[in-house]
């Protein structure tokens, strides 16, 4: 099955509750594994919801006890809600699965989507997703003050545990654009089971980004969030972005030359003969788990967080 299909589940007043969409993902995932469906991308909006990947720390969750849905994807905590285009590409990949390559393809499609609206975006080494880059030459002393507050001294430069949630709006993730810092415009978190992908991306089109101020988005304390509308200084809607995103997702995902993950031969401890052991020979689920655990480690892989 080479055709790539899109299913628009619901937007605006028809936005889809997270649990309902998760159940639909699992249904489509099972059908794709059985080759009953082609590769499929579910596209939708959610009502406001926080979701936490497996690596989310307790200290990154909302301080006020706001409910969080714990999910089986990689990555950490994020928010979904109105004004955000969410996509769940459910695609069969060759084994052993190259999770990093799949993430890179999603990033590329979203970078192209933003570019079509005149917005330059990029990757950031060691961090997944799509970013609007800040000014790398700008020091804390050069950042503009917000609301008359003085940012000459930035405690984040000295405190690895700095928590913006305790320190007012001048440090809020939603204000990163005013501080001219790196800011994430699209988050990516995936899972691979039985060689088939689940979960996917969330592209901020025109959401209320203050929802992110209750959490440590993606566990990142020294950057923030943004949206297409904010960066362009004009209103852009989901309806505007949806066909453009579909076009670029199809171009990238349908036409990609899918290859198995490259594996290295290594000496097996205790093997007197010293014969190499190829990790590609690990049974399917174990090999995929190995790949997934690797991609979730930004230090080891320099790919996603």
First and final C-alpha spacing in the chain: 31
Is 218 part of the annotated catalytic residue set? yes
170 vs 145, 165, 247, CA distance in Å?
8, 10, 38
What is residue 60's three-state secondary structure? helix
Task: Find the radius of gyration of the CA atoms of the chain.
Answer: 20
Long-range (24+ apart) CB contacts under 8 A made by 114-123 are: 114/185, 114/228, 116/244, 116/248, 117/228, 117/232, 117/236, 117/240, 117/241, 117/244, 118/232, 119/185, 119/228, 119/231, 119/232, 121/185, 121/186
CA atoms within 13 A on the CB side of 209: 25
Name 202's bridge partners. 86, 187
134: exposed, middle or buried (Cβ count in 10 Å: 0-12, 13-18, 19+) = middle
Among residues 176, 218, 236, 253, which one is catalytic?
Answer: 218
* C-alpha span between 150 and 230 (Å, rounded): 23
Cα dihedral sign for 102, 131, 66, 298? positive
CB atoms within 10 A of CB 213: 20
* C-alpha span between 219 and 108 (Å, rounded): 23
The first and second tokens of residue 170, run together, are: 């001048």
Q: Which residues are catalytic?
A: 218
């Amino acid at each position: 099955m080479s055709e790539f299909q899109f299913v628009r589940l619901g937007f605006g007043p028809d936005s889809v509750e997270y649990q309902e969409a998760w159940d639909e993902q699992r249904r489509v995932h099972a059908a794709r594994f059985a080759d009953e469906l082609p590769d499929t991308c579910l596209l939708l909006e959610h009502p406001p919801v926080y979701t936490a990947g497996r690596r989310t720390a307790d200290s990154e969750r909302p301080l006020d006890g706001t409910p969080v849905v714990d999910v089986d994807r990689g990555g950490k905590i994020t928010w979904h809600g109105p004004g955000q285009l969410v996509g769940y590409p459910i695609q069969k990949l060759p084994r052993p699965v190259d999770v990093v390559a799949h993430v890179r393809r999603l990033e590329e499609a979203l970078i192209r989507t933003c570019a079509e609206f005149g917005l330059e975006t990029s990757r950031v080494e060691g961090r997944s997703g799509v970013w609007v880059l800040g000014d790398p030459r700008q020091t804390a002393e050069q950042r503009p003050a917000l609301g008359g507050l003085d940012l000459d001294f930035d405690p984040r430069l000295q405190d690895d545990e700095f928590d913006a949630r305790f320190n007012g709006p001048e440090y809020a993730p939603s204000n990163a654009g005013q501080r001219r810092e790196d800011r994430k415009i699209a988050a990516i978190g995936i899972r691979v089971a039985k060689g088939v992908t689940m979960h996917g991306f969330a592209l901020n089109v025109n959401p209320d980004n203050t929802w992110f101020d209750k959490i440590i988005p993606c566990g990142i304390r020294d950057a923030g969030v943004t949206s297409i509308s904010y960066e362009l200084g004009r209103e852009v809607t989901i309806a505007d972005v949806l066909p453009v995103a579909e076009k670029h997702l199809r171009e990238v995902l349908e036409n990609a030359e899918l290859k198995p993950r490259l594996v290295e031969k290594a000496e097996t401890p205790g093997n007197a003969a010293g014969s190499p052991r190829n990790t590609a020979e690990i049974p399917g689920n174990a090999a995929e788990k190995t790949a997934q655990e690797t991609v979730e480690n930004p230090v080891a892989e320099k790919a996603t967080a």
